[in-house]
């Protein structure tokens, strides 16, 4: 099963980058209120935003890869690797979007990494 770790991580990273592209796209669209009057203008802005398109494309690819993974390995082995996505998005969110990376978050990231290592070694 460990030979599938690169495939698993590819799907996880695509999913993480989907989040980051969507964040970038929504930053350019800006804050909006959930109201009936906003549906068409916000949908139009989102549909034309290249970062939103990239994010959605990464999601589609990550789902396709995840289906491939699940056809080859136990879900109990593959699923914990999804938490690597939290680590990647937290670090890139800090580096690119200047998001907070407190001591508690860093501690959580370390615990996540340890858990993934334990699963990978099992």
Q: What is the pLDDT of residues 8-60, one digit of tens each?
A: 999 999 999 999 999 999 999 888 888 888 889 888 999 999 999 999 999 99
Distances in whole angstroms, Cα of residue 20 to Cα of each of 35, 61, 103, 110, 117: 25, 15, 22, 21, 24
The H or E element that residue 99 is part of is none
Q: What does the domain layout of the chain look like in residue ranges?
A: 2-121
pTM: 0.83
């Amino acid at each position: 099963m460990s030979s599938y770790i690169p495939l698993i991580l590819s799907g996880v990273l695509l999913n993480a980058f989907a989040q980051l592209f969507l964040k970038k796209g929504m930053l350019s669209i800006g804050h909006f209120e959930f109201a009936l009057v906003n549906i068409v203008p916000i949908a139009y802005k989102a549909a034309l935003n290249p970062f939103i398109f990239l994010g959605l494309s990464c999601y589609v690819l990550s789902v396709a890869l995840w289906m491939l993974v699940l056809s080859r390995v136990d879900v109990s082995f593959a699923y914990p690797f999804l938490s690597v996505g939290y680590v990647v998005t937290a670090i890139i969110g800090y580096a690119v979007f200047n998001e907070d990376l407190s001591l508690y978050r860093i501690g959580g990231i370390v615990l996540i990494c340890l858990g993934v290592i334990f699963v990978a070694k099992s």
